[in-house]
């Protein structure tokens, strides 16, 4: 995607087919796509509600609207594609002005920039009432589409689907104008977000410490032994590397046992797959002290606390989902929350698919440890891998 070239409507529409994970082809998969569209429009309404409730405190409203609008445009474009309609054709039919809105974009628009005049996006914000009315109208149009689909009306009359899609696209244009949101920005960010989760080619960037002295690098190959012991009425887990204990023995730190004492496996997964673990650096005493700013900010106490917080949070979340047994994909909301937690740190450069891989691999090894109670966990930073083997 060239940032200097306007993103074409039909080009973006074809992009949705390349990133479509719906196993049902063509019109057979429309039910899933329509539900996704309805969900994203609902998220737009939720963002509006939070803005009205929190007023100026909800400063991320604009960014959230851009993200949710981009997601809605993905589902809409994919739906039109499955229905055999070019997005540019839908846009051309949607440009009819309404009593409360006048289309001011270019006639016969072929790019998202064509659909909106620059002065619309930089004008004084529309009133909350206008934004609310346009988003509610958009939700109503999507609701009508679902009603027509559910009742079988669209199956009986193919023209009904194209008519409904035109009305929805017009409502999207109205909502974007009133919210002062650039459709071009929304779809561009959606492309970046989507490829960050489902890249066409998985490529690994250089390790964060690759340019540092070897004594300040995470070991490229680590075999860590997990040993469970009984101490009084409690179970403890000790980690050993090269025969030396790493940190203190861990318990579950709660009345009800949940095997949290094995949670260090997530730090190993982060190190092995993401090349990042301030916690492991502290345990191994290999902070990057040759660069004081990196030592303080990337390997310091706050980064350690953030990593510990992520490990605890995903651990609790995973246990509510059977430790992600038989799970191949994580909720976007979880990955987005992790990304927000690490904003401002070097690991924020890692795309979501790498975070997803690290979390799922960490849970895979955790389940092995939970079953066997002891074992050796090996991380290979060059291969971006974490493995488990039983001990005799």
Torsions phi, psi for 237 (to 5 deg) = -125, 130
Percent of the chain whose pLDDT exceeds 70: 96
Q: What is the pLDDT of residue 122?
A: 83
**Higher per-residue confidence, 65 vs 209:** 209
Residue 15, classified by CB atoms within 10 Å of its CB into exposed (0-12), middle (13-18) or buried (19+), is buried
What average pLDDT does the structure give for the chain? 92
Rounded average pLDDT over 105-125: 89
Range of lowest pLDDT (162-166, 197-201, 353-357): 197-201
**Of 265, 267, 367, which is closest to residue 325 (Cα–Cα)?**
367
**Rounded CA gap, 282 and 14, in Å?**
47
Residue range 78-102, pLDDT digits in tens: 999 999 999 999 999 998 877 778 8
Residue range 23-54, pLDDT digits in tens: 888 888 999 999 999 999 999 888 777 766 66
Between CA 109 and CA 120, with CA 115 as vertex, the angle to 5 degrees is: 150
Count CB atoms within 10 A of the CB of residue 322.
11
Rounded average pLDDT over 310-329: 95
**Rounded CA gap, 278 and 39, in Å?**
37
**Rounded CA gap, 343 and 338, in Å?**
9
Q: What is the pLDDT of residue 53?
A: 66
Do 251 and 235 meet the contact criterion of CB atoms below 8 Å apart? yes
Element (H, E) at 224: strand 221-231
DSSP type of residue 222: E
């Amino acid at each position: 995607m060239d940032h200097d070239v306007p993103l074409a409507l039909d080009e973006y529409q074809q992009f949705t087919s390349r990133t479509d994970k719906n196993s049902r082809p063509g019109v057979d998969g429309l039910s899933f796509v329509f539900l996704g569209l309805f969900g994203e429009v609902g998220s737009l309404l939720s963002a509006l509600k939070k803005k009205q409730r929190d007023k100026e405190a909800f400063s991320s409203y604009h960014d959230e609207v851009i993200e949710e609008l981009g997601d809605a445009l993905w589902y809409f474009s994919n739906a039109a594609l499955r229905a055999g309609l070019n997005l540019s054709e839908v846009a051309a039919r949607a440009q009819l002005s309404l009593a409360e809105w006048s289309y001011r974009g270019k006639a016969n628009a072929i790019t998202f920039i064509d659909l909106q005049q620059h002065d619309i996006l930089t004008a004084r914000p529309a009133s909350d009432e206008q934004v609310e009315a346009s988003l509610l109208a958009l939700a109503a149009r999507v609701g009508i589409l679902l009603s027509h689909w559910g009742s079988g009306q669209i199956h009986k009359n193919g023209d009904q689907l194209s008519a409904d899609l035109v009305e929805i696209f017009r409502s999207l244009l109205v909502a974007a104008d009133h919210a002062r949101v650039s459709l071009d920005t929304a779809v561009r960010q959606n492309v970046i977000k989507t490829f960050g989760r489902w890249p066409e080619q998985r490529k690994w960037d250089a390790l964060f410490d690759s340019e540092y002295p070897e004594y300040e690098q995470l070991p490229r190959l680590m075999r860590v032994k997990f040993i469970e012991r009984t101490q009084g009425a409690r179970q403890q887990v000790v980690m050993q590397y090269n025969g030396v204990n790493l940190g203190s023995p861990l318990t579950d730190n709660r009345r009800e046992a949940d095997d949290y004492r094995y949670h260090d496996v997530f730090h190993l997964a982060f190190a092995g797959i993401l090349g990042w673990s301030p916690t492991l650096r502290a345990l191994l005493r290999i902070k990057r002290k040759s660069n004081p700013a990196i030592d303080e900010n990337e390997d310091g106490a706050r980064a350690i606390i953030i990593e510990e917080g992520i490990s605890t949070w995903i651990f609790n979340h995973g246990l509510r989902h059977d430790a992600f047994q038989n799970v191949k994909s994580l909720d976007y909301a979880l990955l987005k929350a992790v990304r927000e937690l690490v904003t401002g740190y070097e690991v924020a450069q890692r795309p979501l698919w790498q975070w997803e891989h690290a979390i799922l691999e960490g849970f895979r090894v955790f389940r092995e440890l939970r079953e066997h109670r002891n074992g050796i966990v090996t991380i290979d930073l060059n291969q971006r891998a974490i493995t488990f083997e039983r001990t005799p």
